[in-house]
Structure 1
Amino acid sequence: MPPSFKSIRGRLDRAGIFLSGLCAVHCVLGVVLVGVLGLGGGVLLDPAIHEVGLALAVVFGAVSLGFGVRHHGRVAPLVIGGLGLSLMATALFVGHGLPEAVLTILGVALVASAHIVNLRGHRAHASDQHRP
C-alpha cells in the first residue's frame, strides 16, 4: 500500500477522534449553557448542527473504519463505530435535553473508541507484516 494512502487513512481516524471530541464538547456546552444559564439556545440547539455533525461522523466512520476492515481484517472497529453512530442518530429524535446529551456522548465515545481501535489495528497489522 502506498505510504501516502497510509498517511491519509491515519489522518481520517485522527480527524474522527477530533470530531468526536468536538461533538462531546458541543453537547456538554449545550446542556450547561442552555439548561443551566439559559444562553445560546438558538445556536447550540439548531438541528442543522446535529444533522451536519452526524453526516460528518458517518462519512469519516464509513471511510476510515471501512478501510480498516479491508486493511487489517478486524471488524470490531466498524461494529463499535456503527453502534456509536446509531446512538448519535437516535439522539436526533429524542428532543433536546439530558436524554439527547447522554445518547450523543455515549455515541461519540464509541465512535472515538472505534477510531482508536482502528489505528491500533493498523499498527498491529504493520508490525505483523515486518516479522520474519
Structure 2
Amino acid sequence: MVIGFGTAGLLGDWFTSEWVHKVMLVPVILLAILSLPGAYRRHKNHWPLLLGGIGLSTMVSALIGPESLETWITLSGGLLLITAHLWNRNLSLRLLPVTREM
C-alpha cells in the first residue's frame, strides 16, 4: 500500500511536468489533423472543424500561458476537441445508409 501511494506521487509529478504536456500534444494534434478534415469532406459541416481548431489552439496556448492556469486551459481545450470529435462522429453516422435486417 505504501508503494502504491509513492507511485501515485511520482505519477502526479510526471503528469504535471512540462515535457509530458508537449509530448502528449503530438499525438493529439496528429489525430485531429487526420480525422477532422476528412470528416469535413464527407459531411461538409465546418463547425466541428472550427471547434476542433479552437480546442487545439487552446491546448497549445496553455504552453505559453501562466502555469497556474495551464491545467484549466488544457482541460478546456481538450473538452472542445472531444466535443468536435463527437460532433464529427454524429454527423458521419447520419450519412451511413440504414440497413434493415429480416
TM-score by length of 2: 0.77
Alignment match, 1:72: 43
Partner secondary structure for residue 93 of structure 1 = coil
- Conservation of the 8 A alpha-carbon contact between 1:71 and 1:122: yes
Say which SS state the counterpart of residue 58 (structure 1) adopts: helix
Q: Which residue of 2 aligns with 1:58?
A: 29
Question: Rg: which structure is higher?
Answer: 2
CA distance in 2, matches of 1:59, 1:107: 15
Within a 5 Å distance, the mapping from 1:75-94 to structure 2 comes to 75-94=46-65
- How many aligned positions are there? 89
* Structure 2, unpaired ranges of 5+: 1-8
Structure 2 match to 1:116: 86
Cα distance in 1 for partners of 2:70, 2:40 equals 30
Q: CA deviation at 1:95?
A: 4.2
Distance 2:87 2:53 in 1: 13
CA RMSD in angstroms comes to 1.7
Unaligned ranges ≥5, structure 1: 1-38
1:125 aligns with: 95
Matching residue's letter, 2:58 = L
Asked if the contact 1:87–1:103 (Cα under 8 Å) also holds between the matched residues in 2, the reply is yes
Q: Runs ≥4 in structure 1, deviation > 3 angstroms?
A: 39-42
Task: Using CA pairs under 8 Å that are at least 6 residues apart, name the structure with larger relative contact order, 1 or 2.
Answer: 1
**Residue aligning to 2:17:** 46
CA distance in 2, matches of 1:46, 1:105: 15
TM-score, normalised by the number of residues in structure 1? 0.61
